Structures are given as C-alpha cells and as structure tokens.
Amino acid sequence: MRCPYCLSSHVRLWHADGDRLYQCRRCHSNIKLFCSPVDVYDETYFQEHYEQVYGKSYEEDEPMIRSYALRRLKEIQKYVPGGVLVDIGAAYGFFLDEARRVGYEVMGVEIHEGSIRYIQDRFGYPVYRSLELVEGDVDVVTAWFTLEHMMDIEGVMQMVVSKLRVGGCLALGLPNGYGAFARFRKREYFRCRPVEHCTEPSLKGIRALLKRYHLRIVHTEIFGLHPERIGLPSRRFWQNLQKKLRLGDTFEVYAVKQEG
C-alpha cells in the first residue's frame, strides 16, 4: 500500500474501529482502505446529507457558496484572467455561474444525477460525467472539496494535467487530514470524518502530489479555524494562531502548470 499523495510505502494503521483508516508516516495524509463513495450520492445527497452536516440544504446555502466562489475566482484571475474553466464536482453549478459572470467559458464535471439535471435546467451549462469527455485544452480546473471523494488520485491528476494547458491554473479546496482536529482530537475526528471521504490529505501531501505533476503552488489559504474543537476558546487570537501554524481543518491551494 502506498500513499496516493507522496507515494511513500511507509503507511500505518491509524484507526480500526469501523472504517479502517491508514496514515502515511511521511506526509501524514490519511487513507480509507475500502471506499465506495458513489453509494452515498443518491437523490438526497445535496439535501438531507448536506443539511445534516451544515444545518441547511445545498440550495439554501447558495448565497454563502456564491460568496466563496467570488473570493476564489478573484484569486484565480490573478494567474488566468479568462478562458475555459472546468469545475470538477460542480454540484448545483453555483460556482460555474459566478465564473461565467466574470467572463469564463464554463463546463462542469459531475456524477450526481440530480445535480446534472439542476445545472442543465437552471443554467444550461454543459456538464460531463468525466473530465475525459471534455474536448480540447482548458485554462482552469477547479475542484472544491472533491478530490478527497475519489479513490484514484493518480488517474484524476493524470487527466487534469493532460487537459490543462501550460500556464493554466488548478485550484483545490480540501479537508486537512493533519489539521488540529485530526491531530489533537482523534476520537472526535474519527467520529465526524465523512464516510464518503476516501482520503484526507495533509498540506505536505498535496505539495508532493502537485510537484510530481509539474504544478507550481502560487497561493495557499488556511481555513477551518475552530479552536473550540480542540478545547481552546473560540477567539480571534487562537484562530489567528491556528492559521499561522497552518493547523486549520481545511485549506485551499492554487497552482500553475509548468513545462515538463
């Protein structure tokens, strides 16, 4: 068994109660050995399942999702101000719609049938069930909290770099498998870790993965600042310290494809 991020074979059993989770000793990413994430993506996934986690349905959370989209697009525009943008794991298409509004030609990749219908009925944007079906080179590929749902990380990355032009941008949002919650409150982390997550990478693991595919990281943002999850007061001081130490429970990475 190898870590899908840094390719190290130094992997240890980390948790065996219920799902068997393994942790890479080199980069500290974690891996679920047997993962069939498609099983949870039924018609209720973005309604009941999302509401259980966030307290509202995906559609009800549209204003917040759009605000995140605008912040992310401002960062992407620094490196690639226009062109073809493909969002992997497009969900209901709110990010695609904001990207279209700021001038990108947009396409989605999605496996959830209800989401595909929603995007096509409401926005009319093209949606594919696989990135492989997208024709031609693209300028931007985004995947917001999607990569961790995929078993074949290598296959996904090979397809991404084959589609992304040199100088194009890959933007990822990911859970931090070696954030404060995972490191200091393991029992609670194991209980809360979504069953559909095949992996949860560390920042070190993502850096190794992107470097292997000639993707140069140009910006990283640390999010998921919840000191109360590890027994500290939910105050700005502790949040700032958590961010400075790069111990947030989620992060975003923006990378540009190099020649290679």
Beta strand spans in the chain (E)? 11-15, 21-24, 30-32, 84-88, 105-109, 127-128, 138-144, 164-175, 199-200, 215-223, 250-257
Task: List Cβ neighbours of 207 (8 Å cut-off, separation of 6 or more).
Answer: 217
Contact 185, 19 (CB under 8 A): no
Please check whether the domain covering 38-257 is classified as CATH 3.40.50.150: yes
How distant is the alpha carbon of residue 166 from its chain centre? 22
pLDDT at 19: 79
> pLDDT truncated to tens, each residue of the chain (260 aa)?
899 999 999 999 999 887 789 999 999 999 987 666 555 666 666 666 666 666 778 888 999 999 999 999 999 999 999 999 999 999 999 999 999 999 999 999 999 898 999 999 999 999 999 999 999 999 999 999 999 999 899 999 999 999 999 999 999 999 999 999 999 999 999 999 988 899 999 999 999 999 999 999 999 999 999 999 999 999 999 999 999 999 999 999 999 999 87
Could you say which DSSP state residue 19 is in?
A: S
| Domain residue ranges of the chain, discontinuous segments joined by + | 38-257
Q: How far apart are CA 257 and CA 166, in angstroms?
A: 5
Contact 139, 84 (CB under 8 A): yes
Q: How far apart are CA 218 and CA 15, in angstroms?
A: 34
Q: What is the pTM of this model?
A: 0.92
Maximum distance among all Cα pairs of the chain, rounded to whole angstroms: 50
Hey, what amino acid is at 234? S
pLDDT at 196: 87
